[in-house]
Amino acid sequence: MARIAFVVPTFHPTRFSGGIACIMQYAAGLAERGHQVMVVPMLPSLEPRWCRGGYRVLAQDPATFRWRHRRAALKAALLAAASPLSRGLRTRRGEARTAADILALRASAGRLPYAIRRAVSLEHLREALPEADVTVATFYETALAVALFGTGRRCYFMQHFEPYFREESTDPHLAELDARASYRLGLRMIANSPWLQARVREAAPGGETHLCSNAVDLKVFNGEPKVARRADEVVVLSFGGRGIAWKGFKEMAEAVRLVRQRLPATRVRWQVYGGAALPADNPIAAYEDLGFLQPGLLAEAYRRADLLLSASWYESFPLFPIEAMACGLAAITTAPGTEAYAIAGETAEVVLPRDPESVAAGLQRLIVDLDYRTALAARGHAMSQRFTWARSVETLEGILLAPGPVA
């Protein structure tokens, strides 16, 4: 059996993205298959309380890091010699603090300039990465560390086309260059959706990109396909997207407003989980805020709803539409990144991204046409059953351990 190390973004104790949730599912699945699996965050962070067992999380307490990793901070301080961080900062006793002290105190808090955080992360991973037969990057900020310091076969299991997220960084230009460069490091490339596979092949022509689709946890997300019986009241559930613009929340709000206007006899109850770009009492389309839901509570919310509404600008195998389908809901979604399971008019209502009119038309159709809604729920549910974690873990195992050159 192999020693496999996944390098991941920093953990939050209770919250997580779909991408990191999937990586941890793979880690657990590979551990169940007998491999020694280790998960290493790119900067020290507390071990998350939502993890499954079977693998080791090589996390370090951030407070310990602040005082014990001065060498990383000192090297990073050289990059900040001209920064206000390096001058004029004093303790309450009036003693001058060095840039290294400031960086050591702040490195795990996510408040550093982009280039400095990257330097600190690289130096941290130089020391933290374990000996492994396979070392796997999972995020563009982890790819260079795996290329430089990873042992064994070095791979990159991509969860999205990350140059698109440049505006979420403190240094958009540098972040985009960093993300695009991550595809040209000679790592064994693995995409989680056909859409992402195509984007990476365009960004780095000539290189091979393997495909390993993610899956849905059918032990948690399950239910009978819903039979639509009424159009005068409908519960529509959406992921708020943590306030990120490309999750399409404002487009969904405008679509809900249009549908409420066009179907005055129908009570459209819009429920939202996961934080959103607009408050619950916003003037466009008010909604019921469910907050952040752990998987079990999220599955219950799916089962209580009638429809899943998503309008992301782009995704790469998003979990929420297929989770809803597994729980028996008809789903409305956009195409980029969902093609593996969302077939227009067959398993899902596929609408145009950044187009509230298209989203509204899809939502209105599913509210009014009960037979169509019922048929989508049944066919979508059947499709969701194909995407099991056992199958996806086996696929990834084959890719990671396949004979071939070590990067």
Cα dist from 123 to 67, 120, 143, 151, whole Å: 15, 5, 14, 16
Reference 341, options 380, 377, 294, 283; nearest CA is 380
199 and 240 part of one domain: no
Better pLDDT: 56 or 110: 56
Q: Do 249 and 327 share a structural domain?
A: yes
pLDDT of residue 79: 52
Q: Mean pLDDT throughout 343-353?
A: 98
**Of 15-24, 103-112, 189-198, 306-315, the least confident:** 103-112
Q: What angle do CA 74, 79, 80 make, to 5 degrees?
A: 85
Give the chain's domain count: 2
Query: Could you tell me the CATH number of the domain that includes residue 91?
Result: 3.40.50.2000
| 365 is a domain residue | yes
In this model, does residue 94 exceed pLDDT 60?
no
Contacts for 98 with CB less than 8 Å, ≥ 6 apart: 77, 86
Kindly state the average pLDDT of the residues 175-201: 97
6 or 110: which carries more pLDDT confidence?
Answer: 6
Is there a single domain that holds both residue 375 and residue 396? no
Q: What is the pLDDT of residue 62?
A: 55
Q: Check whether residue 64 and residue 90 sit in a common domain.
A: yes
Residue 263 CA: distances (Å) to CA of 90, 283, 329, 368: 63, 18, 21, 9
Q: Residue 111: its pLDDT value, please?
A: 64
Residue 253 shares a structural domain with residue 334: yes
Q: Which alpha helices (H) appear in 235-331, and where do they start and end?
A: 249-262, 295-304, 319-326
Averaged pLDDT of the chain: 88
Q: What's the rounded mean pLDDT across residues 102-109?
A: 45
Whether residues 198 and 248 fall in one domain? no
Predicted local distance difference test score (pLDDT) of residue 102: 43
pLDDT of residue 197: 97
Does some domain include residue 299?
A: yes
CA-based torsion, 337, 341, 345, 347: positive or negative: negative
Q: Which of 100-114, 242-256, 269-283 has the lowest mean pLDDT?
A: 100-114
**206: Cβ contacts below 8 Å, ≥ 6 apart:** none
pLDDT at 406: 61
Q: Which helix (H) or strand (E) holds 72?
A: helix 70-79
Predicted pLDDT at 407: 61
| Range scoring the smallest mean pLDDT among 13-27, 138-152, 167-181, 249-263 | 13-27
Q: In terms of pLDDT, which residue wins out, 20 or 371?
A: 371
pLDDT of residue 107: 46
Q: Rounded to two decimals, what is the model's pTM?
A: 0.86
The set of residues, in sequence order, having a beta carbon less than 8 Å from that of 375 and lying 6+ positions away, is none
How many angstroms separate the first and last alpha carbons of the chain?
A: 20
Please check whether residue 223 lies inside any domain of the structure.
Answer: no
Q: The tokens 């960086």 sit on which residue?
A: 103
Which residues are within 8 A (CB) of 109 and not within 5 positions of it... i.e. 6 or more apart? Answer: 62
Structural domain including 258 reads 233-384
212 shares its domain with 248: no
Question: pLDDT digits over 277-320, tens only?
Answer: 999 999 999 999 999 998 999 999 999 999 999 999 999 999 99
Count of other CB atoms within 10 angstroms of residue 275: 17
Q: What is the pLDDT of residue 83?
A: 45
pLDDT at 99 over 50: no
In a domain, 222, yes or no: no
Structure tokens, 153: 């076969």
Q: Do 97 and 173 sit in the same domain of this protein? A: yes
- Report pLDDT for 97: 44
User: In the numeric block, which tokens belong to residue 40?
Assistant: 């290493």
Q: What Rg, from alpha-carbon coordinates, does the chain have?
A: 23
Residue 303 lies in a domain: yes
Least confidently predicted of 28-32, 66-70, 243-247, 376-380: 66-70
- pLDDT recorded at residue 12: 72
In a domain, 343, yes or no: yes
Does the structure show a pLDDT above 80 at 178? yes
Stronger pLDDT, 78 or 44, i.e. the higher one: 44
Q: Are 147 and 186 in contact (CB under 8 A)?
A: yes
Q: What is the arithmetic mean of pLDDT over 131-151?
A: 97
Instruction: Classify the phi-psi angles of 54: left when phi > 0, otherwise alpha if psi is within -120 to 50, otherwise beta.
Output: left
Note whether 177 and 316 are same-domain residues: no
The bridge status of strand 36-41 relative to strand 56-57 is: parallel
Residue 133 lies in a domain: yes
pLDDT in tens, 322-347: 999 999 999 999 999 999 999 999 99
Q: Are 203 and 72 in the same domain?
A: yes
288 and 206 housed in the same domain: no
Q: Are residues 119 and 241 in the same domain?
A: no
Question: In this structure, is residue 221 part of a structural domain?
Answer: no
